[in-house]
A and B are shown apart, each in its own frame.
Chain A
Amino acid sequence: MRTIPAQRITEAVAALCIEANTHLPADVEAALKAARASEPWPLAQTTLGLLCDNLTAAGEAGLPICQDTGMACVFVELGTDVHIDGDFEAAIHEGVRRGYTDGYLRKSIAADPLRRGNTGDNTPAAITVHLVNGEGCTITVAPKGFGSENMSRIAMLKPADGVEGFKQFVVDTVRQAGSNPCPPVILGVGVGGSFDKVAYLAKKALLRPLDVPNPDPYYAGLEKALLEEINALGIGPQGFGGRTTCLGLAIEQMPTHVAGLPVAVNVSCHVTRRATARL
Protein backbone atom coordinates (compact mmCIF):
# COMPACT_ATOMS: atom_id res chain seq x y z
CA MET A 1 0.00 0.00 0.00
CA ARG A 2 1.36 3.40 -1.02
CA THR A 3 0.08 6.68 0.43
CA ILE A 4 -0.26 9.80 -1.70
CA PRO A 5 -1.12 13.06 0.09
CA ALA A 6 -4.12 14.84 -1.47
CA GLN A 7 -1.95 17.97 -1.60
CA ARG A 8 0.30 16.30 -4.20
CA ILE A 9 -2.71 15.68 -6.42
CA THR A 10 -3.75 19.32 -6.11
CA GLU A 11 -0.27 20.52 -7.09
CA ALA A 12 -0.06 18.13 -10.03
CA VAL A 13 -3.49 19.09 -11.38
CA ALA A 14 -2.74 22.83 -11.06
CA ALA A 15 0.52 22.44 -13.02
CA LEU A 16 -1.16 20.25 -15.66
CA CYS A 17 -3.95 22.81 -16.25
CA ILE A 18 -1.35 25.47 -17.06
CA GLU A 19 0.88 23.14 -19.09
CA ALA A 20 -2.00 21.79 -21.19
CA ASN A 21 -3.32 25.25 -22.02
CA THR A 22 0.00 26.76 -23.06
CA HIS A 23 1.77 23.87 -24.86
CA LEU A 24 0.18 21.70 -27.50
CA PRO A 25 0.95 17.94 -27.27
CA ALA A 26 3.89 17.02 -29.55
CA ASP A 27 1.74 14.70 -31.70
CA VAL A 28 -0.89 17.40 -32.36
CA GLU A 29 1.75 20.02 -33.23
CA ALA A 30 3.47 17.52 -35.54
CA ALA A 31 0.16 16.76 -37.28
CA LEU A 32 -0.57 20.47 -37.78
CA LYS A 33 2.89 21.09 -39.28
CA ALA A 34 2.65 18.02 -41.50
CA ALA A 35 -0.73 19.23 -42.75
CA ARG A 36 0.71 22.66 -43.57
CA ALA A 37 3.50 21.02 -45.56
CA SER A 38 1.16 18.81 -47.60
CA GLU A 39 -1.85 21.13 -48.08
CA PRO A 40 -2.27 21.92 -51.80
CA TRP A 41 -4.77 24.83 -51.58
CA PRO A 42 -3.04 28.24 -51.14
CA LEU A 43 -5.55 29.89 -48.74
CA ALA A 44 -5.61 26.71 -46.65
CA GLN A 45 -1.81 26.61 -46.56
CA THR A 46 -1.66 30.23 -45.39
CA THR A 47 -4.30 29.56 -42.74
CA LEU A 48 -2.46 26.51 -41.41
CA GLY A 49 0.71 28.61 -41.31
CA LEU A 50 -1.08 31.16 -39.11
CA LEU A 51 -2.26 28.40 -36.78
CA CYS A 52 1.37 27.28 -36.45
CA ASP A 53 2.40 30.93 -35.83
CA ASN A 54 -0.17 31.03 -33.04
CA LEU A 55 1.70 28.28 -31.19
CA THR A 56 4.87 30.36 -31.38
CA ALA A 57 3.00 33.49 -30.26
CA ALA A 58 1.53 31.61 -27.28
CA GLY A 59 4.97 30.34 -26.28
CA GLU A 60 6.62 33.76 -26.59
CA ALA A 61 3.94 35.69 -24.70
CA GLY A 62 3.15 32.97 -22.18
CA LEU A 63 -0.47 33.09 -23.35
CA PRO A 64 -2.95 30.24 -23.61
CA ILE A 65 -3.02 28.82 -27.16
CA CYS A 66 -6.78 29.43 -27.29
CA GLN A 67 -8.90 31.77 -25.18
CA ASP A 68 -11.38 28.96 -24.53
CA THR A 69 -9.28 27.26 -21.89
CA GLY A 70 -12.12 24.84 -21.57
CA MET A 71 -13.81 22.63 -19.10
CA ALA A 72 -11.11 20.81 -17.12
CA CYS A 73 -11.62 17.15 -17.98
CA VAL A 74 -9.46 15.17 -15.58
CA PHE A 75 -8.74 11.49 -16.08
CA VAL A 76 -7.11 9.49 -13.30
CA GLU A 77 -5.71 5.99 -13.52
CA LEU A 78 -5.55 5.00 -9.91
CA GLY A 79 -3.80 1.89 -8.61
CA THR A 80 -5.86 -0.20 -6.20
CA ASP A 81 -2.86 -0.31 -3.85
CA VAL A 82 -2.87 3.48 -3.44
CA HIS A 83 -4.29 5.21 -0.40
CA ILE A 84 -5.14 8.89 -0.88
CA ASP A 85 -4.54 10.80 2.32
CA GLY A 86 -7.34 13.38 2.14
CA ASP A 87 -10.36 14.08 -0.07
CA PHE A 88 -9.48 12.85 -3.55
CA GLU A 89 -12.09 14.73 -5.61
CA ALA A 90 -11.79 17.90 -3.56
CA ALA A 91 -8.03 17.80 -4.21
CA ILE A 92 -8.63 17.71 -7.97
CA HIS A 93 -11.13 20.58 -7.88
CA GLU A 94 -8.68 22.62 -5.80
CA GLY A 95 -5.97 21.91 -8.38
CA VAL A 96 -8.22 23.23 -11.15
CA ARG A 97 -9.07 26.30 -9.07
CA ARG A 98 -5.39 27.08 -8.52
CA GLY A 99 -4.27 26.29 -12.05
CA TYR A 100 -6.93 28.47 -13.66
CA THR A 101 -6.32 31.34 -11.24
CA ASP A 102 -2.52 31.29 -11.11
CA GLY A 103 -2.25 30.57 -14.85
CA TYR A 104 -4.54 33.47 -15.89
CA LEU A 105 -6.81 30.98 -17.64
CA ARG A 106 -10.42 31.77 -18.50
CA LYS A 107 -13.13 30.74 -16.09
CA SER A 108 -15.72 29.20 -18.38
CA ILE A 109 -17.96 27.13 -16.13
CA ALA A 110 -21.62 28.07 -15.81
CA ALA A 111 -22.74 27.35 -12.25
CA ASP A 112 -26.03 25.86 -13.41
CA PRO A 113 -26.93 24.67 -16.91
CA LEU A 114 -30.32 26.43 -16.95
CA ARG A 115 -29.93 29.28 -14.48
CA ARG A 116 -26.35 29.97 -15.70
CA GLY A 117 -24.05 32.23 -13.63
CA ASN A 118 -20.32 31.50 -13.40
CA THR A 119 -18.55 29.52 -10.68
CA GLY A 120 -15.67 32.01 -10.96
CA ASP A 121 -12.83 29.50 -10.67
CA ASN A 122 -13.51 27.02 -13.51
CA THR A 123 -14.57 24.30 -11.07
CA PRO A 124 -15.92 21.72 -10.92
CA ALA A 125 -13.61 19.55 -12.97
CA ALA A 126 -15.17 16.74 -15.01
CA ILE A 127 -13.51 13.78 -13.29
CA THR A 128 -13.20 10.25 -14.64
CA VAL A 129 -11.45 7.63 -12.48
CA HIS A 130 -10.26 4.30 -13.82
CA LEU A 131 -9.03 1.73 -11.30
CA VAL A 132 -5.95 -0.28 -12.31
CA ASN A 133 -3.73 -2.77 -10.53
CA GLY A 134 -0.69 -1.61 -8.60
CA GLU A 135 0.54 1.51 -6.84
CA GLY A 136 0.48 4.01 -9.69
CA CYS A 137 -1.44 7.25 -10.05
CA THR A 138 -1.52 8.81 -13.50
CA ILE A 139 -3.37 12.08 -14.02
CA THR A 140 -4.27 13.56 -17.40
CA VAL A 141 -5.82 17.01 -17.72
CA ALA A 142 -7.54 17.54 -21.07
CA PRO A 143 -9.16 21.00 -21.17
CA LYS A 144 -12.06 20.93 -23.63
CA GLY A 145 -13.33 23.97 -25.50
CA PHE A 146 -17.00 24.10 -26.35
CA GLY A 147 -16.87 25.54 -29.86
CA SER A 148 -16.02 22.01 -30.91
CA GLU A 149 -17.75 20.17 -28.03
CA ASN A 150 -21.08 21.69 -29.18
CA MET A 151 -20.67 20.01 -32.59
CA SER A 152 -20.44 16.52 -31.05
CA ARG A 153 -23.23 14.01 -31.75
CA ILE A 154 -24.52 10.71 -30.46
CA ALA A 155 -26.82 8.21 -32.21
CA MET A 156 -28.40 4.89 -31.37
CA LEU A 157 -28.09 3.30 -34.81
CA LYS A 158 -29.69 0.01 -35.79
CA PRO A 159 -27.45 -3.07 -36.12
CA ALA A 160 -28.60 -3.25 -39.75
CA ASP A 161 -27.03 0.18 -40.37
CA GLY A 162 -23.70 -1.62 -40.03
CA VAL A 163 -20.28 -0.22 -40.79
CA GLU A 164 -21.60 1.95 -43.63
CA GLY A 165 -24.17 3.59 -41.35
CA PHE A 166 -21.45 4.11 -38.75
CA LYS A 167 -19.11 5.77 -41.24
CA GLN A 168 -21.88 7.93 -42.66
CA PHE A 169 -22.80 9.22 -39.20
CA VAL A 170 -19.19 10.20 -38.49
CA VAL A 171 -18.73 11.95 -41.85
CA ASP A 172 -22.13 13.70 -41.57
CA THR A 173 -21.14 15.02 -38.14
CA VAL A 174 -18.13 16.77 -39.64
CA ARG A 175 -20.09 18.01 -42.67
CA GLN A 176 -22.82 19.49 -40.48
CA ALA A 177 -20.27 21.08 -38.13
CA GLY A 178 -18.62 22.87 -41.07
CA SER A 179 -16.67 25.91 -39.94
CA ASN A 180 -18.05 25.98 -36.37
CA PRO A 181 -15.59 23.72 -34.50
CA CYS A 182 -12.46 25.60 -35.76
CA PRO A 183 -11.27 23.04 -38.31
CA PRO A 184 -8.95 21.27 -38.81
CA VAL A 185 -10.71 19.09 -36.28
CA ILE A 186 -9.62 16.05 -34.31
CA LEU A 187 -12.26 13.38 -33.74
CA GLY A 188 -12.82 10.93 -30.93
CA VAL A 189 -15.25 8.25 -32.03
CA GLY A 190 -16.94 5.73 -29.75
CA VAL A 191 -18.84 2.71 -31.01
CA GLY A 192 -20.66 0.04 -29.00
CA GLY A 193 -21.42 -0.16 -25.30
CA SER A 194 -24.51 1.67 -24.02
CA PHE A 195 -25.82 5.24 -24.33
CA ASP A 196 -23.51 6.53 -21.58
CA LYS A 197 -20.51 4.31 -22.32
CA VAL A 198 -20.32 5.26 -25.98
CA ALA A 199 -19.98 8.94 -25.09
CA TYR A 200 -17.20 8.05 -22.68
CA LEU A 201 -15.45 6.01 -25.38
CA ALA A 202 -15.54 8.98 -27.75
CA LYS A 203 -14.01 11.25 -25.11
CA LYS A 204 -11.40 8.62 -24.24
CA ALA A 205 -10.45 8.31 -27.91
CA LEU A 206 -9.36 11.97 -27.87
CA LEU A 207 -6.71 11.07 -25.28
CA ARG A 208 -4.91 8.72 -27.67
CA PRO A 209 -1.93 10.32 -29.48
CA LEU A 210 -2.67 10.93 -33.17
CA ASP A 211 0.25 8.77 -34.28
CA VAL A 212 -1.04 5.71 -32.41
CA PRO A 213 -3.61 3.68 -34.38
CA ASN A 214 -6.26 1.41 -32.87
CA PRO A 215 -4.52 -1.89 -31.91
CA ASP A 216 -7.21 -3.85 -33.78
CA PRO A 217 -6.25 -3.75 -37.52
CA TYR A 218 -9.95 -3.66 -38.51
CA TYR A 219 -10.51 -0.45 -36.53
CA ALA A 220 -7.11 0.96 -37.54
CA GLY A 221 -8.25 0.52 -41.16
CA LEU A 222 -11.54 2.27 -40.40
CA GLU A 223 -9.70 5.18 -38.79
CA LYS A 224 -7.60 5.62 -41.92
CA ALA A 225 -10.56 5.29 -44.30
CA LEU A 226 -12.68 7.78 -42.34
CA LEU A 227 -9.83 10.29 -42.19
CA GLU A 228 -9.47 10.14 -45.97
CA GLU A 229 -13.19 10.47 -46.52
CA ILE A 230 -13.42 13.49 -44.22
CA ASN A 231 -10.45 15.14 -45.89
CA ALA A 232 -12.25 14.82 -49.21
CA LEU A 233 -15.15 17.01 -47.97
CA GLY A 234 -13.33 20.24 -48.91
CA ILE A 235 -14.25 22.16 -45.73
CA GLY A 236 -10.59 22.96 -45.08
CA PRO A 237 -8.87 24.92 -42.31
CA GLN A 238 -11.37 27.29 -40.62
CA GLY A 239 -13.96 26.24 -43.20
CA PHE A 240 -12.34 28.46 -45.86
CA GLY A 241 -11.90 25.45 -48.19
CA GLY A 242 -9.02 23.01 -48.66
CA ARG A 243 -7.94 19.47 -48.00
CA THR A 244 -7.06 19.67 -44.31
CA THR A 245 -10.40 19.27 -42.55
CA CYS A 246 -9.30 16.65 -39.99
CA LEU A 247 -5.86 16.13 -38.41
CA GLY A 248 -6.59 12.81 -36.79
CA LEU A 249 -9.33 10.40 -35.79
CA ALA A 250 -9.34 7.68 -33.14
CA ILE A 251 -12.01 5.02 -32.61
CA GLU A 252 -12.62 3.22 -29.33
CA GLN A 253 -14.95 0.24 -29.43
CA MET A 254 -16.57 -2.15 -26.96
CA PRO A 255 -19.15 -4.95 -27.05
CA THR A 256 -22.76 -3.84 -27.21
CA HIS A 257 -26.31 -5.23 -26.98
CA VAL A 258 -27.60 -7.49 -29.78
CA ALA A 259 -30.29 -4.89 -30.52
CA GLY A 260 -28.03 -1.84 -30.67
CA LEU A 261 -25.27 0.06 -32.44
CA PRO A 262 -24.49 3.17 -30.36
CA VAL A 263 -22.16 5.70 -31.99
CA ALA A 264 -20.73 8.91 -30.53
CA VAL A 265 -18.50 11.50 -32.15
CA ASN A 266 -16.69 13.87 -29.83
CA VAL A 267 -15.51 16.75 -31.99
CA SER A 268 -12.32 18.52 -30.97
CA CYS A 269 -10.22 21.16 -32.72
CA HIS A 270 -6.63 21.78 -33.75
CA VAL A 271 -6.05 22.88 -30.15
CA THR A 272 -6.68 19.44 -28.66
CA ARG A 273 -4.96 19.70 -25.32
CA ARG A 274 -3.81 17.06 -22.85
CA ALA A 275 -1.03 16.90 -20.30
CA THR A 276 -0.15 13.92 -18.12
CA ALA A 277 1.76 13.39 -14.87
CA ARG A 278 2.64 10.15 -13.12
CA LEU A 279 2.75 10.53 -9.36
Chain B
Amino acid sequence: MEYKLTAPCTAADLAPLRAGDTVLLSGVVYTARDQAHKRMMEALDAGQPLPFPIEGSAIYYVGPTPERPGQVIGSAGPTTSGRMDAMSPRLLDLGNKIMIGKGKRSDAVKAAVQRNGAVYLAALGGAGALMARSVESLEVIAWPDLGCEAVRRLTVRDMPLTVILDSAGGDLYQSGPAAYMASL
Protein backbone atom coordinates (compact mmCIF):
# COMPACT_ATOMS: atom_id res chain seq x y z
CA MET B 1 0.00 0.00 0.00
CA GLU B 2 1.04 3.59 -0.57
CA TYR B 3 0.03 6.32 1.88
CA LYS B 4 0.32 10.08 1.66
CA LEU B 5 0.84 11.65 5.06
CA THR B 6 1.52 15.14 6.36
CA ALA B 7 3.63 15.59 9.50
CA PRO B 8 3.02 16.24 12.35
CA CYS B 9 0.89 13.09 12.64
CA THR B 10 -1.32 11.41 15.24
CA ALA B 11 -1.35 7.75 16.24
CA ALA B 12 -4.66 7.48 14.36
CA ASP B 13 -3.00 8.74 11.15
CA LEU B 14 -0.31 6.07 11.46
CA ALA B 15 -2.46 3.15 12.64
CA PRO B 16 -3.16 1.74 9.14
CA LEU B 17 0.53 1.60 8.19
CA ARG B 18 2.12 -1.84 7.96
CA ALA B 19 5.73 -2.92 7.47
CA GLY B 20 6.52 -2.84 3.75
CA ASP B 21 4.08 -0.05 2.90
CA THR B 22 5.32 3.04 1.08
CA VAL B 23 4.81 6.48 2.60
CA LEU B 24 5.06 9.75 0.69
CA LEU B 25 5.64 12.17 3.54
CA SER B 26 4.95 15.89 3.35
CA GLY B 27 4.98 18.59 6.01
CA VAL B 28 7.52 19.36 8.72
CA VAL B 29 10.43 17.08 9.53
CA TYR B 30 13.14 17.83 12.11
CA THR B 31 16.69 16.59 11.63
CA ALA B 32 18.62 15.19 14.58
CA ARG B 33 21.38 12.62 14.87
CA ASP B 34 23.90 11.52 17.52
CA GLN B 35 24.99 14.81 19.05
CA ALA B 36 21.57 16.48 18.80
CA HIS B 37 19.97 13.49 20.52
CA LYS B 38 22.55 13.69 23.28
CA ARG B 39 21.76 17.37 23.80
CA MET B 40 18.01 16.71 23.77
CA MET B 41 18.52 14.16 26.55
CA GLU B 42 20.57 16.70 28.50
CA ALA B 43 17.85 19.32 28.00
CA LEU B 44 15.19 16.92 29.30
CA ASP B 45 17.38 15.99 32.29
CA ALA B 46 17.77 19.69 33.09
CA GLY B 47 14.03 20.31 32.75
CA GLN B 48 14.57 22.53 29.71
CA PRO B 49 12.40 22.55 26.56
CA LEU B 50 13.28 20.59 23.44
CA PRO B 51 14.17 22.64 20.34
CA PHE B 52 10.92 21.70 18.56
CA PRO B 53 7.39 20.56 19.49
CA ILE B 54 7.78 16.82 20.07
CA GLU B 55 4.06 15.89 19.93
CA GLY B 56 3.35 14.19 16.62
CA SER B 57 6.78 15.08 15.30
CA ALA B 58 8.79 13.42 12.57
CA ILE B 59 12.54 13.14 13.24
CA TYR B 60 14.96 12.39 10.40
CA TYR B 61 18.38 11.00 11.30
CA VAL B 62 20.44 12.91 8.77
CA GLY B 63 23.53 15.07 8.54
CA PRO B 64 23.31 16.65 5.08
CA THR B 65 26.22 17.90 3.03
CA PRO B 66 26.48 21.73 2.92
CA GLU B 67 24.08 23.29 0.44
CA ARG B 68 25.61 25.14 -2.50
CA PRO B 69 24.43 28.72 -3.09
CA GLY B 70 20.95 28.51 -4.59
CA GLN B 71 20.31 24.98 -3.36
CA VAL B 72 17.85 24.21 -0.54
CA ILE B 73 19.87 21.32 0.88
CA GLY B 74 22.86 19.21 -0.02
CA SER B 75 22.87 15.45 -0.26
CA ALA B 76 20.56 14.18 2.50
CA GLY B 77 20.22 10.43 2.96
CA PRO B 78 19.67 8.69 6.30
CA THR B 79 22.31 7.70 8.84
CA THR B 80 22.28 4.42 10.80
CA SER B 81 19.39 4.63 13.29
CA GLY B 82 20.74 2.12 15.80
CA ARG B 83 23.00 4.77 17.31
CA MET B 84 19.88 6.59 18.51
CA ASP B 85 18.31 3.47 20.09
CA ALA B 86 19.26 4.38 23.66
CA MET B 87 17.51 7.75 23.34
CA SER B 88 14.53 7.17 21.03
CA PRO B 89 12.13 5.48 23.50
CA ARG B 90 12.19 8.56 25.74
CA LEU B 91 11.28 10.80 22.78
CA LEU B 92 8.57 8.39 21.62
CA ASP B 93 7.04 8.38 25.10
CA LEU B 94 6.97 12.19 24.95
CA GLY B 95 5.03 12.18 21.68
CA ASN B 96 7.49 11.71 18.82
CA LYS B 97 5.55 9.69 16.23
CA ILE B 98 7.77 9.19 13.16
CA MET B 99 11.43 8.21 13.09
CA ILE B 100 13.20 8.24 9.73
CA GLY B 101 16.53 6.51 9.22
CA LYS B 102 17.97 3.21 8.08
CA GLY B 103 19.01 -0.01 9.73
CA LYS B 104 17.98 -2.18 12.65
CA ARG B 105 16.41 -0.94 15.91
CA SER B 106 16.52 -2.41 19.40
CA ASP B 107 13.72 -4.32 21.08
CA ALA B 108 13.22 -1.32 23.38
CA VAL B 109 12.57 0.93 20.36
CA LYS B 110 10.20 -1.64 18.85
CA ALA B 111 8.27 -1.79 22.12
CA ALA B 112 8.10 2.02 22.33
CA VAL B 113 6.80 2.19 18.73
CA GLN B 114 3.97 -0.20 19.61
CA ARG B 115 3.25 1.42 22.98
CA ASN B 116 2.87 4.86 21.40
CA GLY B 117 1.30 4.03 18.03
CA ALA B 118 4.37 5.38 16.27
CA VAL B 119 6.29 4.20 13.16
CA TYR B 120 9.86 3.79 12.04
CA LEU B 121 10.35 4.59 8.36
CA ALA B 122 13.39 3.92 6.18
CA ALA B 123 14.76 6.46 3.77
CA LEU B 124 17.04 5.13 1.04
CA GLY B 125 20.49 4.62 2.50
CA GLY B 126 23.19 5.95 0.22
CA ALA B 127 20.71 7.80 -1.96
CA GLY B 128 21.32 11.28 -0.59
CA ALA B 129 20.86 13.10 -3.88
CA LEU B 130 17.46 11.47 -4.45
CA MET B 131 16.27 12.17 -0.89
CA ALA B 132 17.30 15.83 -1.26
CA ARG B 133 14.77 16.29 -4.08
CA SER B 134 11.82 16.18 -1.70
CA VAL B 135 13.11 18.92 0.60
CA GLU B 136 11.49 22.29 -0.10
CA SER B 137 12.94 24.41 2.71
CA LEU B 138 15.54 24.22 5.44
CA GLU B 139 16.16 26.25 8.57
CA VAL B 140 18.71 25.57 11.31
CA ILE B 141 16.71 25.92 14.55
CA ALA B 142 19.12 24.72 17.23
CA TRP B 143 22.77 24.08 18.02
CA PRO B 144 24.41 25.47 14.86
CA ASP B 145 27.78 24.67 16.46
CA LEU B 146 27.08 21.03 15.62
CA GLY B 147 27.50 21.75 11.90
CA CYS B 148 25.93 18.95 9.87
CA GLU B 149 24.51 17.58 13.13
CA ALA B 150 22.62 20.79 14.02
CA VAL B 151 18.83 20.52 14.33
CA ARG B 152 17.13 21.63 11.13
CA ARG B 153 13.48 22.22 10.37
CA LEU B 154 12.74 20.82 6.93
CA THR B 155 9.61 21.24 4.87
CA VAL B 156 9.27 18.20 2.65
CA ARG B 157 6.95 17.11 -0.13
CA ASP B 158 6.30 13.47 -0.99
CA MET B 159 9.49 12.17 0.61
CA PRO B 160 9.61 8.48 -0.43
CA LEU B 161 9.86 6.25 2.64
CA THR B 162 9.27 2.60 3.50
CA VAL B 163 7.59 1.39 6.71
CA ILE B 164 10.00 -0.78 8.70
CA LEU B 165 8.40 -0.91 12.18
CA ASP B 166 4.65 -0.47 12.55
CA SER B 167 2.42 -0.07 15.59
CA ALA B 168 1.19 -3.68 15.30
CA GLY B 169 4.68 -5.08 15.82
CA GLY B 170 5.59 -5.59 12.15
CA ASP B 171 9.27 -5.42 11.16
CA LEU B 172 10.15 -5.35 7.46
CA TYR B 173 13.78 -6.29 8.19
CA GLN B 174 12.36 -9.65 9.42
CA SER B 175 9.34 -10.10 7.18
CA GLY B 176 10.89 -8.79 3.92
CA PRO B 177 13.81 -11.23 3.69
CA ALA B 178 11.55 -14.03 5.03
CA ALA B 179 8.97 -13.41 2.29
CA TYR B 180 11.68 -13.43 -0.39
CA MET B 181 13.19 -16.66 0.95
CA ALA B 182 9.74 -18.26 1.06
CA SER B 183 9.24 -17.36 -2.62
CA LEU B 184 12.22 -19.46 -3.73
Contact = CB atoms under 8 A, between A and B. Distances in A.
A53 B180 contact: no
Contacts of A145: 126
Interface in B126-184: 126-130, 132-133, 147-148, 160, 162, 172-173, 175-181, 183
B116 interface: no
Given A63-B65, A63-B132, A235-B177, A270 B126 contact: yes
A233 B80 contact: no
Interface string A207-250: 00000000000000000000000000111101111110000000
A66 B130 CA distance: 9
B68 to A, nearest CB: 5
Contacts of A67: 62-65, 74-77, 128, 148
Interface stretch (A124-132, A177-185, A256-264): A177-185
A54 interface: yes
Contact of B67 (A53, A104, A234, A270): A104
A79 B160 CA distance: 49
Most B C-beta atoms less than 10 A away, residue of A41, A241, A243? A241
Interface in A150-179: 150, 178-179
Given A105-B65, A106-B63, A147-B79, A66 B128 contact: yes
B16 interface: no
B176 A241 contact: yes
Contacts of B172: 239-241
A114 interface: no
Contacts of B180: 41, 44, 234, 236, 241-243
A61 B127 contact: no
Contacts of A65: 75, 126, 128-129
A105 B178 CA distance: 38
Contacts of B122: 179, 238, 240
Interface size class of B (residues with CB under 8 A): 35 or more
A106 B60 CA distance: 17
A150 B177 contact: no
Interface residues of A, number: 48
B124 interface: yes
B71 interface: yes
A63 B129 contact: yes
Given A41-B180, A67-B128, A62 B102 contact: no
Given A41-B180, A180-B104, A108 B148 contact: yes
Given A63-B75, A67-B75, A270-B126, A236 B176 contact: yes
Contacts of B20: 43, 240
A274 to B, nearest CB: 15
Contacts of B53: none
B103 A271 contact: no
Nearest to A270: B126
A53 B103 contact: no
Contacts of A270: 126
Given A106-B64, A240-B162, A234 B181 contact: yes
B129 A51 contact: no
A43 B75 contact: no
Contacts of A53: 127, 130
A65 to B, nearest CB: 6
Contacts of B76: 67
Contacts of A236: 176-177, 180
Contacts of A271: 126
A66 B75 contact: yes
A271 B175 CA distance: 26
9 contacts: A66-B128, A104-B74, A106-B63, A147-B80, A179-B173, A180-B82, A238-B102, A238-B124, A240-B20
Interface of B: 20, 35, 62-68, 71, 74-77, 79-80, 82, 102-104, 122, 124-130, 132-133, 147-148, 160, 162, 172-173, 175-181, 183
Top 3 nearest A-B pairs by Cβ distance? A241-B176, A182-B125, A58-B129
